[in-house]
């Protein structure tokens, strides 16, 4: 049996750190002048039906670059894929509408590679007026799925057990789903095989969120990740903790989920490496 050990990731806030990025890793963000000719990437086209098609496309490109996907709105490389979209709004009760966007990924010659449709509830007035905040908020929600669409299936480069990520317990807002998806994506980018369901010899990554008042309008967020064998025995645990503005995680997690997943990846990798060494004898 594997002995249990703890890997702590205490990510303390400092005064100059923006409150919307509390779990930020230390990776340098992609340069806005990214040259797609060197890495292919994607050109985001103006989104049809958006109140400001060009501005919304730029917001999407910005969020994709945060996820390390080379993206631009400037046509200028023959190798880059083209990401286009058509937005439609259905009126709902109250002050929000349902926004649906059908995305289409195509080669430079127009051949369609893949497509996906997603929908969200958006503030009616802010979306109709194309406020920068509304454009950025929807782009942040859309970016993770679009990144997967652009990148496609990644090759498995790390030999060893496959991983299954469970929905995160206790996460407010959309964290149960968003944080799971962010960690799955981080693991795939790191070369792991990620499965949708448990199989023999695969490992499980289970997460749980605990939030406690920290005074003065703040909350202490603790995230515990457990790596389990297929028999349910815990092989290792990774803890993350931070103090953030109260209510910050009550809605969409967006970029915060990516930051948390990036921080957890190092600890999960160490646990998996220990499992591989033990299996090799």
* Judgement on whether residues 123 and 166 belong to the same structural domain of the protein: no
With H, G, I as helix, E, B as strand and everything else as coil, classify residue 256. helix
Residue with tokens 């997690």: 253
103-154 tens-digit pLDDT: 999 998 899 999 999 998 899 999 999 999 999 999 988 988 898 888 877 7
Please identify, among 151, 175, 206, the residue that sits at the C-terminal boundary of a domain. 151
Q: How many domains are contained in the chain?
A: 2
Least Cα distance to 152 among 101, 109, 111, 116 occurs for 116
- Do residues 143 and 160 both lie within one domain? no
In a domain, 1, yes or no: no
Same domain, residue pair 168 and 222: yes
Domain-located, residue 143 = yes
Domain containing residue 112: 36-151
Cα 49 from Cα 171, distance rounded (Å): 34
CATH code, 42: 3.30.160
List the 81-91 sheet strands across, edge first: 71-72, 42-44, 81-91, 96-106, 112-123
3-state SS, residue 2: coil
The answer to whether 148 and 185 are in contact (CB under 8 A) is yes
What pLDDT, on a 0 to 100 scale, did the predictor assign at position 68?
Answer: 78
CA quadruple 243, 248, 251, 257: dihedral, nearest 10: -50
pLDDT of residue 202: 93
CATH number at residue 260: 3.40.50
Average pLDDT score, the chain: 83
Answer yes or no: is 211 within a domain.
Answer: yes
Q: What is the pLDDT of residues 157-200, one digit of tens each?
A: 888 899 999 999 999 988 898 899 889 989 998 999 999 888 88
- Using 50, 70 and 90 to split pLDDT, how confident is the model at 33? very low
- Based on the domain organization, do 226 and 253 belong to the same domain? yes
Segment 84-104, tens digit of pLDDT = 999 999 987 788 899 999 999
221-231 tens-digit pLDDT? 999 999 999 88
Residues 134 and 177 in one domain: no
- Distance of alpha carbon 274 from alpha carbon 145, whole angstroms: 31
Q: Please tell me whether residues 165 and 183 are part of one structural domain.
A: yes
Is there a single domain that holds both residue 13 and residue 81? no
Question: pLDDT > 90: what percent of the chain?
Answer: 49
């Amino acid at each position: 049996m594997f002995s249990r050990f703890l890997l702590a990731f205490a990510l303390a806030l400092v005064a100059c750190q923006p409150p919307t990025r509390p779990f930020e890793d230390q990776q340098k963000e992609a340069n806005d002048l990214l040259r797609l000719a060197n890495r292919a990437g994607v050109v985001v086209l103006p989104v049809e039906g958006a109140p400001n098609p060009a501005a919304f496309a730029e917001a999407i490109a910005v969020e994709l670059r945060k996820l390390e996907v080379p993206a631009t709105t400037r046509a200028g490389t023959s190798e880059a894929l083209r990401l286009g979209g058509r937005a439609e709004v259905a009126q709902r009760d109250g002050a929000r509408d349902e926004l649906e966007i059908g995305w289409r990924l195509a080669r430079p010659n127009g051949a369609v590679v893949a497509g996906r449709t997603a929908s969200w509830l958006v503030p009616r007035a802010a979306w109709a007026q194309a406020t920068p905040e509304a454009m950025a908020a929807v782009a942040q929600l859309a970016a993770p799925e679009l990144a997967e669409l652009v990148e496609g299936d990644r090759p498995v480069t790390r030999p060893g057990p496959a991983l299954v990520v469970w929905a995160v317990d206790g996460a407010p807002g959309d964290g149960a789903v968003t944080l799971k998806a962010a960690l799955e994506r981080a693991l795939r980018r790191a070369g792991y095989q990620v499965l949708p369901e448990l199989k023999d010899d695969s490992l499980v990554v289970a997460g749980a969120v605990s939030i406690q008042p920290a005074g003065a309008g703040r909350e202490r967020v603790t995230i515990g990740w457990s790596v389990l064998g297929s028999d349910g025995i815990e092989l290792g645990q990774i803890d993350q903790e931070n103090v953030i503005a109260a209510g910050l995680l009550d809605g969409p997690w967006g970029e915060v989920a990516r930051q948390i997943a990036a921080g957890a990846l190092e600890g999960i990798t160490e646990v998996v490496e220990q499992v591989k060494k033990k299996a090799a004898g």
